[in-house]
Amino acid sequence: MHTENDRDYALSQQTDYAWRRVEKGKIEKYKARHQRYGAKRLEKAAEVQKWRAVFTRSCEKRKVLKRSCWRRSQTGGCAHVYSLPAQRKGMVIIMKRMKKIVCFVLALTLVASLAACGKAPAEDGKGDAPVMGVCIFAMETEFFTNLAHWLEEAGAAHGWDVIVQSGDASNPASQVEIIENFITMDVDAIFINPINIAAVEDALAKAKENNIWIFGHNYRYEDSEMPDVYMAGDPREVGAEITNLAKSEADKVLGDTPVVAAAMTSLDNENNSKRSEGMVARAKELWGEDALVAENSPGNTAEAMSAAENIVQANPDVNVWLCYNDECAIGVYEFYNASGRDQSKAVIVGADGNQDVLQAIIKGSAVRGTLSQTLNVKCEQVFSAADILMESGDVEAAQDTAGYDLFTPINSDNAQEELDASSWR
């Protein structure tokens, strides 16, 4: 059987190291887990015989001895002993692929031997990669489905494991439970799009106490001190940009025709409410109080379609639609399609850069623009920033890499480019 000295010898061959953050912005080296392979060829025939004897004795006990497995390689006939790296959840065995059948038989023997000593082996590669827990606002919305997808794609490209869980938009406390689960799982970083910022403050503080990096999506600097990396911009400014984009498109489409505007707003959470406020306030600045003839707060595409129908019945001259997100913009667009209304003199603008909206813009419909977060790019920047935090703990460099402002204006000039870059379905 393996002796304690045998295992100590194998462990001594490791050359890997990792980093542990002691506190924000500071780290120290500690004996690590990140490098999986540390095998060293034994040069002496005596060592080969020693390990062959260990293997033989173990196999005889299990009646699976196959001496044919000990053919020497043509390059010198030396066996390989592979190190046993320390993993996050305890000592586990990770076997590097050995030549042909020797790998399989020896791996089974070592696994069985350590199991007899009370150590449970992990699957190859498990626990090796850093882990990011993603707490999404609500997965039933297309934008958040896309966000989750691109985070998984970018995470895989950077060697991260990504765990996505969705909150309940009507229950901010649902995200607290998710964060607590991530803490229990001992993830390395948490990416959160909060339903309510105040509701998750205590849970995020606990995560930081457990040396977990926090990425705040739709967080401003003044909103909270919890995130290590912020990605947002002021939601009121985002709302104002929706209206600015609508004005630039209306100038091209309507010419001298007076603007008669309607706003699809939201009151369902703090961020959307502020975005809606900014959108409406900017519309009144640009076109006057009387130009905005209707406001409605639909909860989804179907409700937006119904709201558009009701608004047009009361205000048939509406020609500019300000939508706080693309779900509402598509609802208004579907109303135009269903009713057969002329789209050549109408402007619909939303935000989020959803696939359906991009396609409608390219088609030349009444949907003229959107604000896109260019998720394929932003999510890659998230993991570039996460790599920096894991390697050096440099929060400032991570923030510079992730960026702060999220949105890019999209219209007919760049909609196809955006669709090509962000399409994954």
How is the chain split into domains, by residue range?
Answer: 4-116, 131-232+375-422, 235-372
- Average pLDDT value over all residues in the chain: 76
Q: Which fold would CATH assign to domain 131-232+375-422?
A: Rossmann fold (3.40.50)
Q: Answer for the pair 33, 18: CB distance below 8 angstroms, yes or no.
A: yes
Which residues on adjacent β-strands are paired with residue 316? Answer: none
pLDDT number for residue 199: 92
Q: Answer for the pair 18, 88: CB distance below 8 angstroms, yes or no.
A: no
Query: Sign of dihedral through CA atoms 69, 71, 75, 81?
Result: positive
pLDDT at 2 over 90: no
Q: How far apart are CA 266 and CA 235, in angstroms?
A: 12
Q: Which of 19-33, 227-241, 299-313 has the highest mean pLDDT?
A: 299-313
Q: How far apart are CA 336 and CA 1, in angstroms?
A: 78
pLDDT of 375-385, one tens digit each? 888 899 999 99
pLDDT category of residue 404 using cuts at 50, 70 and 90: confident
Place of tokens 């109408």: 346
pLDDT at 17 over 80: no
pLDDT at 388 over 50: yes
Which residues on adjacent β-strands are paired with residue 164? Answer: 134
pLDDT of 200-236, one tens digit each? 999 999 999 999 999 998 877 777 889 999 887 678 8
pLDDT category of residue 424 using cuts at 50, 70 and 90: low
What burial letters (b/e) apply to 74-108, b meaning 16+ CB within 10 Å?
Answer: eeeeebbbbbbbbbeeeebbbbeebeeebbebbbe
The CA distances from residue 151 to 110, 157, 341, in Å, are 37, 10, 39
Q: Can you read off the two tokens belonging to residue 244?
A: 């600015």
CATH number of 235-372: 3.40.50.2300
Q: How far apart are CA 399 and CA 395, in angstroms?
A: 6
DSSP string, 105-137: HHHHHHHHHHHHTT-PPPPTTTTTS-EEEEEES
Stretch among 155-159, 265-269, 388-392 having the lowest mean pLDDT: 265-269
Q: Say how many Å lie between the first and final Cα of the chain, rounded.
A: 54
Average pLDDT over residues 82-87: 33
Stretch among 24-28, 33-37, 328-332 having the lowest mean pLDDT: 33-37
Q: Do the domains spanning 131-232+375-422 and 235-372 agree at the CATH topology level?
A: yes
The whole model's pTM is what? 0.58
